[in-house]
Structure 1
Amino acid sequence: MWSGDELDLDAYLERIGYEGDRGPSGELRPDLRTLYAVHRAHTASITFESLDVLLGRPVALDLKSIEDKLVHGRRGGYCYEQNSLLAAALERIGFEVSGRGARNRTRGDSVLAVTHAVLVVTVKGEPWLCDAGFGFQGPREPVPLGRPGSEVRQGEWTYRVREEEDGVLVLCLLRGETWRDLYAFSPQRYHPVDYVVLNHYSSSHPASSFVGRLIVQYPGDGVRQALVGRELTRLHPDGRAEQEIVGPDGLLAVLDQEFELRLPERDAEELVRIHRAED
C-alpha cells in the first residue's frame, strides 16, 4: 500500500536519529515501543515546510521523490510527504497502516474541505493516530484512538480525542486552560492515490493556504514555532504566543537556527527574493 518495500529504511532511521531498541537480528519490532520511538524521532528531525509550493514547483508523492527530498536531501515537507514517508517506514517495519483524510478546525467555525492526511496504525488490535505532518500544533507521539476523552500528555503538551456523530473523531490540543480542536476525521480509509488528489489542490489551487505563502513550522518539546509569511510565532504550553517579524535579510538565519532548515544556494536566493517582494 505505502511502498514500504522500496524504502531505504537504514537511511531513514539515520535521518531521524532513531535510537530505539532493535531485535537480536538488528530488525525493528512492530510493537508500541517502536511506534513511539519512530514517531517521536521523525517529528523531532524533519521540519514541516511547504517551500516547494512557494517556489512554484510540483510536490511529488511517489516514495522515491519523497525519500530523495526528505531523507537524502534533508529537506522538510508538508502532510502528504511527511505521512507518506512515515507510513512507508512503519509498513516496512511490519505495522498495519491505513490513511485518513481530516478537516482542519483551527480556523474558526467554517467548514473546510478535507485536505489533511493522517495515519491510523493498529498495534495488537488497538488503533493509534499517527501524524507527523500537522506543523507546530501537531502531536509528537502517537495518540490512542480506542479511549476517546482520555487526556494524553506529551512533554509539556496535552492532547485528547473526542468522538462526534457518525464515528467522527476530533483531535484536540490544550492551550492554557482551553481545549482547541485541531482537526476531525471519519473512519473512511484513504489510500495514497487519494492523497495525490488532495495534494494537487493544496499545492496549486488559488484558495489553498500554501499557495504564494511561506510556511515553516516545528513542534518543539517546549516552545513551538511557526513562520507564516513574515510572522514568526512562538507558542508556549500555557497558551502564550509571541510574535516577531522576520525580514528578508534575516530569513535564512531564522530557517537555519530556528528550524534547522538549510537550502541549496539557488533555492535560498529565490526564497529571499520572493520574501523581499512582499514589501
Structure 2
Amino acid sequence: MWHGEQLDLEAYLDRLGYEGERDPSLETLRALHRAHVLSVRWDNLDSFLHQSVSLDLADLQAKLVRRGRGGYCYEHATLYAAALERMGFRFTAVSGRVQLGAEKILPATHAMLLVDIDGRRWLSDIGYGGSPLAPIELVEGEAGNEVTIEGRPFLLRRTEITPGADGWALHQPDGRGGWMVRHNFTENPQYPVDYQLGNHFIATSDHSPFNRRLFIQRIRPERTDRLDGLTWTMHAATNTGAEPDEKRTVQPQELPGLLSGTFGLALSEREAELVVAKMEAHDPRP
C-alpha cells in the first residue's frame, strides 16, 4: 500500500545514519524513529514557495533522502511508512488535529502512524517538527501514559476529542505548570489517497498557514530551533516554560545561512534566492 518495495532502503537508512537492526521489533522502531526525527528536518518550503508538494515516493526520496531537504508531516509520514512497510512492521496511518490551545475544532491535517508490536500499540509521530524522540505507547485508562523523553515531557491519553468522538490526545507542557493538547486523533485508518487530500489542502488552500508563512523546525537531543517567518527561537530540551531560551528577528538576507547552518537544510541556489525574495516581499517591518 505504501510502496515499500519501491523504497531505496539503503539510501534512506544512510540518510539517517542508521546502522542498527532491521527486524520489526520495538528496539528497531525506537532507534529508527529517533534517527528519522533527528536527521530529516521539518520545513514547509515547497508549500510556501510553490504551493505544490508531491507525495510521490520517488519525489520524496529525491528530495528528503538524496537532496538532504526536509518536508512537512505528510511527506515524512509517507516516506517513513514506506520504510516501516519494507521492514515488516504492522501499522495504521492516522490523521490528527493540531490544537496548541485552540478552542475551535481544526481540520485533521497532521499525519502520523500507530505501530503494532506484540499486542502493544505505539504512536510514532515523526513529522511534527518538535516530535518526541521516541514512540509513545497507547495506554488505556484515565491516567494515560505520561513519559519524559530525553528531558521533554509528554502525556498521551484516551479522551473525547471532539463532540461524540472518542480518541487520543497528546499533551505537552503549557508553560504554566499544566498540560496543553498538542494534537488529537482517532484511530480511523488513513490511506495514501487520504494523505493526498490533506496535503492538497495544506499546500494550496487560502485557509492554510503553511503556504503563507515560512516555518521551519529542527530538533536536537539538547535543543529545538524554530523559525516562524523572520523570528528565530531556541528552546533547551529541559525548558518547559512559555518563553524561549533565545529569540531574535533575522533579516531576509540572513535566511540562506541560517537555514544551512543552524537548521542543517541543504538548499539549492534557486531555493535560497526564492526564500530571500519572498521574505523580502512579505517583510512586515518598515
CA contact (8 A) 1:167 1:187 kept: no
1:61-210 to structure 2, matched below 5 A, reads 61-136=55-130, 138-147=131-140, 149-165=144-160, 166-174=165-173, 176=175, 177-210=177-210
Change beyond 3 A, Cα 1:147–1:235: farther
2:265 is paired with a residue of what secondary structure? Answer: coil
Question: What residue number does 2:257 align with?
Answer: 253
TM-score by length of 1: 0.93
Q: Residue 107 of structure 1: CA displacement? A: 4.3
CA contact (8 A) 2:122 2:136 kept: yes
Q: Distance in 2 between matches of 1:161 and 1:142?
A: 11
* Equivalent of 1:238 in 240, 244, 260: 240
What is the identity, as a one-letter code, of the residue corresponding to 1:53?
A: S
* Equivalent of 2:50 in 43, 46, 56: 56
Aligned sequence identity (%):
39
Q: Residue 74 of structure 1: CA displacement? A: 1.0
Q: Distance in 2 between matches of 1:152 and 1:232?
A: 28
What is the identity, as a one-letter code, of the residue corresponding to 2:167?
A: V
Q: Deviations over 1:123-159 (max 9, x none)?
A: 11111001111112x2121110135522112101011
Question: What residue number does 2:282 align with?
Answer: 278
Runs (4+) of structure 1 exceeding 6 A deviation are none
Question: What residue number does 2:33 align with?
Answer: 39
Aligned residues: 272
What is the identity, as a one-letter code, of the residue corresponding to 1:60?
A: S
* Equivalent of 1:266 in 245, 263, 270: 270
Q: Deviations over 1:209-233 (max 9, x none)?
A: 1012111112222221110111112
Q: Distance in 1 between matches of 2:194 and 2:212?
A: 24
Q: Distance in 2 between matches of 1:213 and 1:234?
A: 19
Q: Deviations over 1:182-204 (max 9, x none)?
A: 00001211111100000010000
CA contact (8 A) 1:102 1:184 kept: yes
Question: What residue number does 1:25 align with?
Answer: none
What is the identity, as a one-letter code, of the residue corresponding to 2:149?
A: Q
Q: Distance in 2 between matches of 1:39 and 1:274?
A: 33
Change beyond 3 A, Cα 1:164–1:147: closer
What is the identity, as a one-letter code, of the residue corresponding to 2:135?
A: P
TM-score by length of 2: 0.91
CA contact (8 A) 2:97 2:108 kept: yes
Q: Distance in 2 between matches of 1:14 and 1:175?
A: 36
Q: Residue 82 of structure 1: CA displacement? A: 0.3
Q: Deviations over 1:56-85 (max 9, x none)?
A: 152111211111110011110000000111
Q: Distance in 2 between matches of 1:83 and 1:272?
A: 29
Q: Quick check: 148-157 or 178-187, which moved more?
A: 148-157
Q: Distance in 1 between matches of 2:136 and 2:219?
A: 15
Q: Residue 265 of structure 1: CA displacement? A: 0.6
Q: Distance in 2 between matches of 1:50 and 1:107?
A: 22
* Equivalent of 1:29 in 23, 32, 39: 23
Q: CA RMSD in A?
A: 1.4
Q: Which runs of 5+ in 2 are unaligned?
A: none
Q: Distance in 1 between matches of 2:102 and 2:269?
A: 39
